[in-house]
Amino acid sequence: MEISAEVQSLFDTLVVTRRALHAMPELSEQEFKTSDYIAARLKALGIRFRRIHTGLVADVKGEESGHTVGYRADIDALPVTEKSGEPFAAAVNMHACGHDGHTAMLLAFAELLTRCRPLYDTRLIFQFGEEGTGGAEKMIEAGALDGVDEIYAFHLCPELDKGKLASADGPLFAGTVEFDVTFTGLAAHCAAREQGRDALGAAVSFVSRLPEMNAGFASNTLAHAGRLDAGTARNIVADRALVECTYRFFDPAHMEAGMMNAERVLTDITAATGVSHDLTVQSVYDPLIVDGRALRRLREVVTVETCAPRFTSEDFSAYCKRVPGCLAWLGIRDAKYGAPLHSDTFGFDEQALLYGVETFYRLSRARNRFIGGGRGKP
C-alpha cells in the first residue's frame, strides 16, 4: 500500500501520540487520563465531542449528508507488567493488546479530517472497556452508534507482516461465554472420606469432561477451564470448589448446544458423587461477524487478504450486530517485533500505524458507500 503525502506528514504526531498513550495505560472503565488526553487533542483540533463515561464520541461533517461512516478505537490496557525494555513503558499495567496504536491511528485520522474533509459524515468512537467489561454495549446504549450506517476498525496483528491487512467475510472472532461452576459437597477427614462428599473430585471430573461441551462441532467451538479453587487443607475432603471456564463459538446455535452439554455433564457428576453444582454465566459476547458489503467496500480501496477466524473475542461484534461493519487485522510483524498479543514483551514499529490511517483516509474519500444497516439503533 502506498502511503499518501497527507498521511505521511502525520508520522511524527503518530509516534508522539502512541508513546504518550503507552505511558499511561489504564484498565477498563478506569481510563480517566487517557480520556482527558483524547479530549484535549480533539478540542485542540476544533472537533466537537461528547463523553460516555471514559469513552468519547466525535462527529465530523462530510461534504454530503444523509450517510454516516463510523470508525472505532478501543482505549483500555491490561493488568500486565511490561518487560519490553521500551523507554516509554509504564511501571503499572500495559498496552499489551495494541489499543494505544488503535487510538493513535484514530486521533491522527481525526487531525487529517480537519485538513481533508470527508465525503460523508464521520463518527469517531473512542471506546472504553473492551477488555472484558462490555464497553461496546455500554457505548451503544448511550447512543454512540445512533445514526451510523457502517463502521470500521483495526486490530494490530503480530502474526501478519507489517502493513498487510486481513479479514474474513463472516465470522472473524469467536463469541464467548464466561461461566463459573461452583460445587458444594460435605467436608470430612480424608481418613473417613466416605463420610464426606468431595467437591474437589467433582470439579476435577468436570474439568476432565469439559471437551464434551464440543460434542458434534469440535472444530468450531472451544471449551477451557482456566482456574480451579477448592479445599481448606490437604487432609480434608473439600466441601467447595470453584471452576472458572470460558466457552468459545462462531455459531450462536453452538453456544446453546454447548451449554446444554455442560449441564448434562454436571448432572451426571451430581448423580455419581452427591455433590451439588451451580453454573453461573458471568458474561456473553457475540461472535464478530464481518459484513460482506463492508469488506467489499474496504477491498475497493486497499488489498485485504482472507484469513481464518480465531477463537479470540472482540466486542466490536456489538457494533457489527447492529450495522454493517468490518474489522481488519493490521500486520505489525517485522524483524524486531513479533511477540504475541497480551504478552509482556508486545510491541510494534509505529510505521505500521500509517497503513491504518491511510486506509481510513481512503475510506473517507471513497464514494462506493452502500445503503443499508439500521442507522445504529439498539
Question: Comparing C-alpha atoms, which of 68, 175, 66 is closest to residue 124?
Answer: 68
Statement: residue 224 has pLDDT above 90: yes
Judged by DSSP in three states, 161 sits in strand
Judged by DSSP in three states, 123 sits in strand
Q: Residue 264 — φ and ψ, nearest 5°? A: -65, -45
Instruction: With beta carbons less than 8 A apart as the criterion, state whether 150 and 374 touch.
Output: no
Give pLDDT tens digits for 42-74: 999 999 999 999 999 999 999 998 899 999 999
Instruction: With beta carbons less than 8 A apart as the criterion, state whether 171 and 288 touch.
Output: yes
Quote the pLDDT of residue 133.
Answer: 79
Termini Cα distance of the chain: 36
Q: How far apart are CA 307 and CA 151, in angstroms?
A: 20
Judged by DSSP in three states, 74 sits in strand
Q: Which residues are paired to 310 by β-bridges?
A: 173
Quote the pLDDT of residue 219.
Answer: 80
Question: Comparing C-alpha atoms, which of 211, 212, 213, 181 is closest to residue 199?
Answer: 181
Give pLDDT tens digits for 139-193: 999 999 999 999 999 999 999 999 999 999 999 999 999 999 999 999 999 999 9
Quote the pLDDT of residue 132.
Answer: 79
Helix (H) or strand (E) holding 353, with range, is helix 351-365
**How many Å separate Cα 137 from the centre of its chain?**
12
Structure confidence at residue 282 as a pLDDT band (50, 70, 90): very high
What is the Cα Rg of the chain in Å? Answer: 23
Rounded to 5°, the CA angle 260-261-263 comes to: 65
Structure confidence at residue 378 as a pLDDT band (50, 70, 90): very low
Statement: residue 373 has pLDDT above 70: no
Across all residues in the chain, what is the average pLDDT?
Answer: 95
Statement: residue 354 has pLDDT above 60: yes
The neighbour count for residue 301, using CB atoms within 10 Å, is 18
Give pLDDT tens digits for 335-353: 999 899 999 999 999 999 9
| DSSP assignment letter at 38 | H
Give pLDDT tens digits for 295-320: 999 999 999 999 999 999 999 999 99
Percentage with pLDDT > 70 across the chain: 97
Quote the pLDDT of residue 32.
Answer: 98
Which residues neighbour 85 within 8 Å (Cβ) at sequence distance 6 or greater? none
Structure confidence at residue 252 as a pLDDT band (50, 70, 90): confident
In this structure, the strands spanning 288-290 and 64-74 are unpaired
- Mean pLDDT along residues 254-274: 96
Q: Residue 214 — φ and ψ, nearest 5°? A: -90, 5
Quote the pLDDT of residue 47.
Answer: 98
Instruction: With beta carbons less than 8 A apart as the criterion, state whether 326 and 152 touch.
Output: yes
Q: How far apart are CA 286 and CA 207, in angstroms?
A: 24
- Mean pLDDT along residues 264-282: 97
pTM of the model: 0.91
Question: Comparing C-alpha atoms, which of 45, 62, 73 is closest to residue 130?
Answer: 73
Give pLDDT tens digits for 85-109: 999 999 999 999 999 999 999 999 9
Q: How far apart are CA 347 and CA 234, in angstroms?
A: 43
- Mean pLDDT along residues 18-29: 98
Judged by DSSP in three states, 178 sits in strand
